[in-house]
Amino acid sequence: MGKFVSKASRGDKRAARTCKGKGGDVIFEGEDDVDSEDSDFEESQSDDGDVDSDDESDIGDFIVEEEELESMRDDIHDMSFEDCLDGSSKRDKNYKNGKVYVEQPYGSIKLEPWLIFTDMEAFLDVLRDYCIQEGFGLSVEKADSRRYTVVCAVEGCDWRIHASKMVDKFSWTIKSLTGEHRQCGRLEVNPIVTTKWLVGKLLPEIEANLDIPVLTLKKMTQQKYRIQVKTRLFYKVKALAKEVINGSFSESYALIPRYAEMIKETNPGSYALITWHSDPGDGFLKGCRPIIGIDGAHLSGFFKGILLSALGIDGNNEIFLLAYGVVDTESWNYFMRNLRALFEREGCSRDDWTFISDH
Ligand SMILES: [Zn+2]
């Protein structure tokens, strides 16, 4: 065995992770001999049986519980890598047995021994897509930071995949893929479907139309991914997707003031100004009587000054703040000029306003 492999394969605590679903018979065959394990995997047969899920908690993750299996027999044999470790091996030599996974569209994802993934997460992502595509659940036999062995969740099915970390310490590859789903049927409600997975898949659609109805999302999921997901979960999916979308917007907007400063700093002579207001003033024109109360209040804080404000009364007889400004002296001219500009900008041309002031 290669140095790295043998060191890592002994004495490490291993966590076995199991997935919800029926436990499958586990058979660990002789390992990793790719030549003798040409993929005899075939697509599972599918039916349109409508399996119903009881609860949101059915949408689980790969990992539901963890237990340590210290005594687990070390039956991973990384012999094939030893050939690569000839003392002068370069990284590409590690890959001589395999081929790097290239993204395949959902529906035509195929797995085979010696497919190489950039890291464990990439492998798990593809495996998840593949299982959902093929319509079967997983039962985890062995999973830790350097190897991952799962079987089909259906009892008696001999489908099994084993993948592990490569000698470069970050890439992952499928070491063996055996068995086939003979009588597993298609799992319409697949426990490995998570809201996170759905958000990832449906994000482009939600981004294109933030008001997309949840039933449309449900229908798309049924048609494209051939899985059943409870309608109410799509509300959650939509909310999470909006968080992702709006989050990125607000983060971008938050950078604008800094951007303006950078423009001024790096392009001398440039003029950059950021202003904003939280209310377009529209509510006043649509929902308030044509009465404007104006007043000024002296500020007693460190900077002093005068707060000028214009208020209306809305349909509920409540105060509607129309505009306010902080000035050095009571310069109503400046304030009213800007207020008129605001009205003009909003397309308001009426001139029968009633003003109330204490003067
Ligand atoms: Zn199966």
Residues 182-198 have pLDDT tens digits of 989 998 899 999 999 99
Report the distance separating Cα 196 and Cα 124, nearest Å.
14
Best CA proximity match to 134, nearest among 39, 43, 41: 43
Best CA proximity match to 129, nearest among 103, 152, 154, 109: 109
Residue 324 phi, psi dihedral angles, 5° rounding: -150, 155
Q: Taking a C-beta distance cutoff of 8 angstroms, is the pair 312, 291 a contact? A: yes
Residue 334 has which token pair? 């400046």
State the distance from the centre of ligand 1 to the C-alpha of 138, rounded, in angstroms.
9
pLDDT class for 10, splitting at 50, 70, 90?
very low
3-state SS assignment for residue 231: helix
Q: Taking a C-beta distance cutoff of 8 angstroms, is the pair 282, 302 a contact? A: no
State the distance from the centre of ligand 1 to the C-alpha of 173, rounded, in angstroms.
21
Report the distance separating Cα 206 and Cα 213, nearest Å.
9
Q: Please, what is the Cα angle at 33 between 31 and 35, to 5 degrees? A: 155
Q: Taking a C-beta distance cutoff of 8 angstroms, is the pair 305, 331 a contact? A: no
State the distance from the centre of ligand 1 to the C-alpha of 83, rounded, in angstroms.
33
**What pLDDT digit, counting tens, does each position of 313-350 carry?**
887 888 888 888 888 887 788 888 888 888 888 888 77
State the distance from the centre of ligand 1 to the C-alpha of 23, rounded, in angstroms.
11
**What pLDDT digit, counting tens, does each position of 143-169 carry?**
999 999 999 999 999 999 999 998 888
State the distance from the centre of ligand 1 to the C-alpha of 113, rounded, in angstroms.
18
State the distance from the centre of ligand 1 to the C-alpha of 190, rounded, in angstroms.
13
State the distance from the centre of ligand 1 to the C-alpha of 132, rounded, in angstroms.
12
**Mean pLDDT, all residues of the chain:** 75
pLDDT at position 276 is 72
Print burial letters for 127-148: b (CB count within 10 Å at least 16), e (below 16).
bbbbbbbbbbbbbbbbbbebbb
pLDDT at position 278 is 60
State the distance from the centre of ligand 1 to the C-alpha of 154, rounded, in angstroms.
5
**What pLDDT digit, counting tens, does each position of 265-302 carry?**
998 888 887 777 665 556 777 777 888 999 999 988 76
State the distance from the centre of ligand 1 to the C-alpha of 157, rounded, in angstroms.
5
Domain spans in the chain, listed from the N-terminal domain onward: 3-178, 195-254, 282-356
State the distance from the centre of ligand 1 to the C-alpha of 342, rounded, in angstroms.
68
State the distance from the centre of ligand 1 to the C-alpha of 217, rounded, in angstroms.
28
Q: What percent of the chain has pLDDT over 90?
A: 41
State the distance from the centre of ligand 1 to the C-alpha of 185, rounded, in angstroms.
8
pLDDT at position 280 is 52
State the distance from the centre of ligand 1 to the C-alpha of 286, rounded, in angstroms.
63
pLDDT at position 22 is 36
pLDDT at position 75 is 44
State the distance from the centre of ligand 1 to the C-alpha of 300, rounded, in angstroms.
76
